[in-house]
Amino acid sequence: MPAPLPPLTITDLQKEARAFAIAESAHAEPSLFGVTDGKAVGTYLEHKFQTDLLNRYAYPRGSSAKGIDFPGLDVDIKVTSIRQPQSSCPFKSARQKIYGLGYSLLIFVYEKTDDAKAQAARLNILHTIFIEKDRTADFQTTSGLIRLLENHANRDDLLAFFAERMLPLDEIAAGILADEVLRTPPQLGYLTISNALQWRLQYSRAIEQAGAVHGLLRLK
């Protein structure tokens, strides 16, 4: 019988993501030649990375029901083009803008080029970033709240701030969240999270700050 595979750890995931990004950047892929659909490119990269990991590690796979790619590690994969580094994620509550998504993000940021002569595409992975879950809140929201708290804001100040930021909250939920912020000040987040039926996550600031801020790792 083959030896059992070792369990996947966060450290393994980060190490493998870096190695994958380097290898994939040197790979020419005929199936992606001429493809302009970012979702198709993202699916290709995610599936290829997961296949590599499944050959070497044991871990529970994510599903649409579980919501994230590595539920055992609380990590989700995001793949995005450098032309517009953003993606969507499920909306759970306005609290995510203040305290984070509830899981970490492993982000591959690629630049796609097509080689007409070879009839193949190359995905140069320019940035591989790991954002720890306590840094996945919205930058403007958390920085504003931190400033207010430093200026001894009270509950009414926070409620006014929530209204100005148009956080999707009813009056009761806003009061509960204001009390929580007073008890437990948030950490500074590094995503830009736009209000929508699904959160729209933008990564430019995280890319800029990766490697210089605790909780934002630059793997490649």
Task: Report, as ranges of residue numbers, the positions in the chain whose pLDDT lies below 70.
Answer: 1, 63-66, 197
DSSP annotation of 190 reads -
And the tokens for 150? Answer: 């430093």
Q: What local confidence, expressed as pLDDT, does residue 218 receive? A: 94
pLDDT the model gives residue 66: 59
Closest CA to 204 of 61, 84, 45: 84
Sorted by where each starts, the structural domains of the chain and their CATH numbers stand as 10-85+103-135+206-218 (3.40.210)
DSSP state of 191: B
- Give which of 156, 161, 208 is closest to 179, Cα–Cα: 156
**Predicted local distance difference test score (pLDDT) of residue 163:** 95
Q: Do the Cβ atoms of 69 and 103 come closer than 8 Å?
A: no
Contacts of 26 (CB under 8 A, 6+ apart): none
pLDDT of residue 195: 81
| Contact by Cβ (8 Å): 188, 212 | no
Rounded CA gap, 123 and 11, in Å? Answer: 24
